């Protein structure tokens, strides 16, 4: 890492993108789709329907007993702060949050006096797994930079669950994260949302029921990658690429909608004619059609204000939504437009200057986006070190806001790396806040998480203690790190 130069950074930043979430389960039609094998089902069993979730999550929470975290400063992620507060977890869920909670029989009671308790940190923009450690040609799987539109790729097929970066992120309080394809392409492919619990398989980490996202990219990256490889070579080329694809996607969606309508009509008929023939499947257009259907959430890597404004018009032209702009260096110049459209800006606190479209960074960006009525700020990492301290990045952005006259309380700021991220990833109904019924994804900090000295002491995911700074047995170590360094007996792990 120390020797990463600008070229390497460029590769890293190509990772940046926009994400969309697709919720297969949200599709009312999939009830009769059944399992993945029905994708090409014979017409006698109903119409052909492409599989919505052919690589389903096998994640399951680890066992946990009831736990009462008592007497802490609780930031609920729902906007509240409770001094002397308690959080009760049971069966993997948040049961209650309040000032005076009774411990149920058999509960472990943890006196958290002096500690701060928050929802698990969520990173909306990560490349853990698809640009893992060690970083070699062998493991560089984040950018399918072979064509400007690769909406057909699914980044879960690149994610290496043995990336040691997951463990370091866990020690930083990260309980859920979205892995995005890189930003070399206009359409980079599908994202995947993970729970930060190690597994032998990527399916074992997939966040149950999370919608898919799709990555798109504005500006310099596609130009730079394809400018001498057939294009696009300009920003206008980028937009013509997006628009041509949306036109194709609209036609593709219509061909399937028409087919299902024809099928229903045929099924209601006398059965004398042959069943209508399903259109040919196209993986690329299937993902784009998923966006047009509202199932897949668009994560749009975009730095410049003028480009974000054009993207917003493009969503009108083709009737889809961008859920979040990523990096959004110049979001502060169009923060009103983003707020009006309900689009989140996922930003860094202070990264800048690595390319011209990142020249106009201001540390107040996050706060200026937040200050708009309806503004939605998310702090993201896009980086295997940054993901370990999203709390610190938030603290700096909050402080910059304060100096601009925008006061943001800790109970609000925590939402930038919890609830707001969850909202933009389509999982806010399941996690992102400490509210009864939600997943018990909880971090116990040794103090105010917005201090440079703060450390996550315990991290619970679905109620199970997955990291404990004081207990080496609760510190995951990936296969790659075992047995390294010989006599130094250094085995890596979450606390390193």
Partner 1 sequence: MSAVTIKTLFSSAVIAVIGVVSASAQTTAIMNGEVHTAAGGVIENGDVIITNGRITQVGADLSAPAGATVVDAEGKVVTPGIFAPLSTIGLVEIGLDAEANDAGPQREVGFPLGAALDAVDAYNPSSILIPINRAGGVTRALSAPQAGDSLFGGRAAVIDMSGRTNSITKRQAAQILEMGYSGATRAGDTRMGAWALLREYLDEARSYAANPNDYVRRPRDGRFAVSDLRALGPVIAGDQPLIVSVNGAKDIRTLIRLKNTYSLDVIIAGGSEAWREAEALATAGIPVILDPLFNLPAQFEDLGATLENAARLNEAGVRISFYNPPGFGAHNLRLLTQQAGNAVANGLPHDAAIAALTINPAEMFDLDGQLGSLEPGKVADVVIWEGDPLELDTQPEAVFINGQRQDLGHRQQMLSDRYRDLSRGDLPHAYRGGE
User: Which single residue is written with the structure tokens 């207990």?
Assistant: 471
Nearest to 78 by CA among 486, 421, 398, 415: 415
Q: Please, what is the minimum distance in Å from the beta carbon of residue 268 to partner 1?
A: 55
Alpha-carbon span 361 to 195, nearest angstrom: 31
144 contacts partner 1 (rule: CB under 8 A): no
What is the token pair recorded at 220? 């310099």
7 contacts partner 1 (rule: CB under 8 A): yes
What is the token pair recorded at 387? 């993901």
Among 157, 229, 243, 402, binds partner 1 (CB under 8 A): 402
453 contacts partner 1 (rule: CB under 8 A): yes
106 contacts partner 1 (rule: CB under 8 A): no
Among 145, 164, 177, 424, binds partner 1 (CB under 8 A): 164
User: Which single residue is written with the structure tokens 């399918």?
Assistant: 144
Among 30, 80, 321, 350, binds partner 1 (CB under 8 A): 350
| Three-state SS at 491 | coil
Among 162, 203, 293, 451, binds partner 1 (CB under 8 A): 451
472 contacts partner 1 (rule: CB under 8 A): no
Q: Which residues, in sequence order, are CB contacts of 251 under 8 Å at separation 6+?
A: none
Among 53, 141, 156, 220, binds partner 1 (CB under 8 A): 220
Q: Please, what is the minimum distance in Å from the beta carbon of residue 364 to partner 1?
A: 4
H-helix or E-strand containing 38?
A: none
Among 354, 430, 435, 469, binds partner 1 (CB under 8 A): 354
Contact assessment for residue 176 and residue 378, using Cβ atoms and an 8 Å cutoff: no
CA contacts within 13 A on the Cβ side of 419: 17
Site for partner 1 in 31-60 (CB under 8 A): none
Q: CA-CA distances (angstroms) from residue 162 to 88, 387, 475?
A: 32, 17, 14
Among 99, 261, 356, 436, binds partner 1 (CB under 8 A): 356
Among 3, 28, 137, 280, binds partner 1 (CB under 8 A): 3
Return the number of the residue (207 or 226) whose C-beta is nearest partner 1.
226
Burial class (CB in 10 A: 0-12, 13-18, 19+), 212: buried
| Three-state SS at 428 | coil
**Lateral strand order in the sheet of 121-126:** 121-126, 174-179, 192-195
Question: Got the DSSP string for 40-98?
Answer: G--GGGSS----S-SS-----PPP---EEEEEEEEE-SSS-EEEEEEEEEETTEEEEEE
SS (H, E, C) 291-342: HHCCCCEEEEEECCHHHHHHHHHHHHHHCCCEEEEEECCCHHHCHHHHHHHC
Site for partner 1 in 233-262 (CB under 8 A): none
454 contacts partner 1 (rule: CB under 8 A): yes
Q: Please, what is the minimum distance in Å from the beta carbon of residue 165 to partner 1?
A: 6
* Cis peptide bond upstream of 480, omega within 30: no
373 contacts partner 1 (rule: CB under 8 A): no
Q: Please, what is the minimum distance in Å from the beta carbon of residue 483 to partner 1?
A: 10
Q: Which stretch binds partner 1 (CB under 8 A): 1-9, 83-91, 118-126, 418-426?
A: 1-9
Phi, psi at 494, each rounded to 5°: -65, -30
Among 154, 256, 325, 351, binds partner 1 (CB under 8 A): 351
Alpha-carbon span 28 to 35, nearest angstrom: 14
Among 162, 293, 352, 430, binds partner 1 (CB under 8 A): 352
DSSP class of residue 102? Answer: P
129 contacts partner 1 (rule: CB under 8 A): no
173 contacts partner 1 (rule: CB under 8 A): no
Q: CA-CA distances (angstroms) from residue 102 to 63, 75, 87?
A: 22, 19, 10
Return the number of the residue (168 or 253) whose C-beta is nearest partner 1.
168
Return the number of the residue (87 or 145) whose C-beta is nearest partner 1.
145
Q: How far is CA 185 from the centre of its chain?
A: 18
488 contacts partner 1 (rule: CB under 8 A): yes
Among 1, 42, 236, 280, binds partner 1 (CB under 8 A): 1
DSSP class of residue 448? Answer: -
Among 106, 134, 269, 373, binds partner 1 (CB under 8 A): 134
Q: Please, what is the minimum distance in Å from the beta carbon of residue 398 to partner 1?
A: 8
Contact assessment for residue 206 and residue 192, using Cβ atoms and an 8 Å cutoff: yes
Site for partner 1 in 316-335 (CB under 8 A): 332-335
Among 125, 168, 327, 370, binds partner 1 (CB under 8 A): 168
Among 277, 336, 429, 471, binds partner 1 (CB under 8 A): 336
Nearest to 297 by CA among 319, 323, 326, 279: 323
Return the number of the residue (10 or 275) whose C-beta is nearest partner 1.
10
Q: Which stretch binds partner 1 (CB under 8 A): 192-200, 236-244, 320-328, 347-355?
A: 347-355
Return the number of the residue (10 or 26) whose C-beta is nearest partner 1.
10
Q: Which stretch binds partner 1 (CB under 8 A): 52-60, 358-366, 373-381, 437-445?
A: 358-366
376 contacts partner 1 (rule: CB under 8 A): no
Residues in contact with partner 1 by CB under 8 A are 1-10, 12, 133-136, 164-165, 168, 220, 224, 332-336, 350-356, 359-364, 368, 384-385, 388-389, 392, 395-396, 398-399, 402-404, 450-455, 480-481, 484-485, 488, 490, 492, 496
């Amino acid at each position: 890492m120390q020797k990463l130069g600008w070229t390497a950074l460029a590769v890293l930043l190509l990772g940046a993108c926009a994400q969309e979430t697709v919720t297969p389960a949200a599709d009312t039609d999939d009830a009769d789709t059944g399992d993945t094998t029905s994708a090409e089902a014979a017409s006698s069993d109903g119409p052909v329907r492409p599989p919505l979730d052919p690589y389903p999550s096998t994640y399951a929470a680890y066992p946990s007993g009831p736990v009462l975290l008592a007497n802490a400063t609780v930031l609920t992620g729902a906007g509240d702060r409770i001094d002397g507060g308690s959080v009760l977890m049971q069966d993997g869920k948040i049961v209650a949050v309040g000032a005076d909670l009774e411990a149920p029989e058999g509960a472990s009671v943890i006196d958290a006096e002096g500690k701060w308790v928050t929802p698990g940190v969520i990173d909306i923009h990560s490349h853990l797994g698809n640009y893992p450690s060690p970083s070699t040609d062998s493991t560089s799987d984040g950018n399918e930079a072979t064509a400007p539109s690769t909406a057909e790729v699914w980044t879960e097929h690149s994610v290496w669950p043995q990336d040691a970066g997951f463990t370091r992120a866990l020690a930083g309080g990260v309980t859920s994260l979205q892995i995005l394809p890189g930003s070399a392409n206009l359409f980079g492919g599908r994202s995947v949302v993970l729970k930060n619990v190690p597994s032998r398989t990527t399916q074992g980490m997939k966040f149950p029921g999370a919608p898919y996202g799709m990555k798109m990219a504005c500006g310099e990256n596609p130009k730079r990658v394809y400018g001498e490889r057939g294009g696009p070579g300009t920003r206008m080329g980028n937009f013509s690429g997006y628009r041509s694809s949306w036109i194709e996607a609209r036609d593709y969606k219509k061909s399937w909608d028409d087919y299902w309508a024809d099928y229903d009509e045929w099924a209601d008929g006398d059965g004398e004619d042959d069943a209508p023939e399903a259109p040919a499947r196209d993986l690329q257009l299937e993902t784009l059609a998923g966006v047009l259907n509202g199932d897949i959430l668009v994560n749009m890597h975009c730095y410049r204000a003028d480009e974000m404004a054009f993207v917003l018009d493009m969503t009108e032209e083709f009737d889809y939504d961008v859920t979040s702009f990523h990096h959004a260096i110049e979001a502060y110049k169009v923060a009103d437009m983003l707020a009006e459209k309900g689009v989140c800006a996922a930003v860094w606190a202070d990264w800048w200057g690595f390319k011209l479209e990142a020249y106009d960074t201001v540390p107040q960006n996050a706060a200026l986006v937040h200050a708009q009525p309806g503004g939605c700020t998310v702090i993201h990492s896009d980086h295997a070190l940054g993901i370990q301290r999203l709390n610190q990045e938030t603290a700096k952005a909050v402080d910059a806001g304060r100096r601009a006259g925008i006061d943001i309380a800790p109970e609000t700021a925590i939402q930038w790396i919890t609830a707001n991220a969850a909202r933009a990833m389509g999982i806010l109904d399941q996690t992102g806040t400490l509210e009864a019924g939600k997943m018990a994804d909880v971090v116990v900090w040794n103090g105010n998480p917005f201090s440079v000295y703060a450390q996550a002491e315990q991290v619970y995911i679905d109620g199970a203690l997955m990291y404990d700074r004081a207990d080496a047995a609760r510190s995951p170590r990936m296969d790659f790190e075992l047995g390294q360094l010989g006599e130094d007996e250094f085995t890596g792990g979450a606390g390193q």
